[in-house]
Amino acid sequence: MKRNAKAVARLGVAALLSSAVAAACSLGLDEGRIGQVDAAPLPTTTTTVEPPVDGTAPDAPVVKPSDAAPDSRPPATCARNEDCLTTATCQKGRCDVAAKRCIYEICPQTDRCKVAACNAATARCEAPVDRPFSESFSIIDQPSGAGPFKGIALIEPFVFVGTSSGVYAYSLQEAGVPKTPIPVAGAAFVPQYLFASGRRLYLVGPLQGSLQRRLAVGWLDVPSDPAPAELRAESKYVTFNAPSLGSVFPYPGERMLVGQQSSGSAFGITEPPFGAAIALQTAILPSGQLAASSGDRVVLLRAVGGTSAPVLSLVTGAGTPTPNAGADQSVAAGGNASYNYASGHFATSPGGAVAMSWHMTNSASPFNNNAVAARLSFLLKDDKDVSFASSDFIDYATFPAPGVNPNISNLAGPIAWADDTTLLATYATPGDTGRTSVVFVRRGRTDAGVDAGVTAPVDLPFSAGNVLSVAAAPGVGALLVSAGGGGYQVTVLREGCAASP
Whole-angstrom Cα distance, residue 262 to residue 279? Answer: 17
Beta bridge partner(s), residue 181: 170
pLDDT at 408 (0 to 100): 62
Q: Return d(Cα 116, Cα 200) in angstroms, integer.
A: 27
Over residues 472-491, the mean pLDDT reads: 92
Domain chopping of the chain, boundaries: 5-46+132-494, 62-126
The larger pLDDT score, comparing residue 69 to residue 138, is at 138
Confidence (pLDDT) at 406: 55
Average pLDDT over residues 310-336: 85
CA dihedral (337, 341, 343, 346) positive or negative: negative
Helices then strands, counting H and E runs in the chain, come out as: 1, 38
How far is the CA of 371 from the CAs of 184, 337, 374, 396, 398, in angstroms? 43, 9, 9, 14, 9
Cα–Cα distance between 304 and 333 in angstroms, integer? 12
Average pLDDT over residues 306-312: 71
Other CB atoms within a 10 A radius of the CB of residue 303 amount to 17
Instruction: Identify which of 443, 330, 341 has the alpha carbon closest to the alpha carbon of residue 392.
Output: 443
Q: What is the pLDDT of residue 309?
A: 74
At residue 410, does pLDDT exceed 50?
Answer: yes
Question: In terms of pLDDT, which residue wins out, 59 or 145?
Answer: 145
**In contact, 248 and 229? CB cutoff 8 Å:** no
From the number of C-beta atoms within 10 Å of its C-beta (0-12, 13-18, 19+), residue 187 rates as buried
- So what's the pLDDT on residue 18? 36
* pLDDT the model gives residue 255: 96
Q: Is 465 helix (H, G, I), strand (E, B) or coil?
A: helix
Other CB atoms within a 10 A radius of the CB of residue 336 amount to 15
| Dist CA 360 CA 408 (whole Å) | 10
Which of 141, 129, 137 lies closest to 42 in space, CA to CA?
141
Closest CA to 186 of 201, 171, 174, 197: 201
Lowest mean pLDDT among 75-79, 146-150, 400-404, 486-490: 400-404
CA 369 – CA 362 distance, rounded (Å): 5
Beta bridge partners of 412: 427
Q: Quick one: average pLDDT of 392-397? A: 83
Cβ neighbours of residue 472 closer than 8 Å, sequence gap 6 or more: 154, 416, 417, 418, 422, 423, 424, 478
The tally of CA atoms less than 13 A away on the side-chain side of residue 288 is: 23
The full DSSP string for 348-373 is E-TT--EEEEEEEEE-STTSTT-EEE
The answer on pLDDT for 286 being more than 50 is: yes
pLDDT at 382: 94
CA atoms within 13 A on the CB side of 86: 27
How far is the CA of 236 from the CAs of 37, 189, 215, in angstroms?
17, 10, 8
Beta strands at 234-239 and 214-221: parallel, antiparallel or unpaired? antiparallel
Over residues 97-103, mean pLDDT:
84
Higher pLDDT, 136 or 69: 136
Backbone angles phi, psi at 322, to 5 degrees: -125, 65
pLDDT by residue (tens digit) across 7-65? 333 323 333 333 333 333 333 334 333 333 333 333 333 333 333 333 333 333 333 44
Q: Specify whether the CB–CB gap between 343 and 21 falls below 8 A.
A: yes
The pLDDT, as a whole number, for residue 492 is 95
- In our burial notation (b when 16+ CB lie closer than 10 A, e otherwise), range 396-406 reads bbbbeebeebe
Helix extents (H) in 33-190: none
Write down the pLDDT at residue 368. Answer: 64
> CA 249 to CA 258: how far, in whole Å?
7
Q: What pLDDT does 177 receive?
A: 76
5-46+132-494 CATH fold: Methylamine Dehydrogenase; Chain H (2.130.10)
Q: Which of 59-68, 235-244, 292-301 has the lowest mean pLDDT?
A: 59-68
Across residues 320-325, what is the average pLDDT?
89
Distances (CA, A) of 346 to 149, 156, 342, 370, 461: 11, 22, 13, 23, 24
Q: Which of 12-16, 341-345, 366-370 has the highest mean pLDDT?
A: 341-345
Residue 76 confidence class, pLDDT cut points 50, 70, 90: low
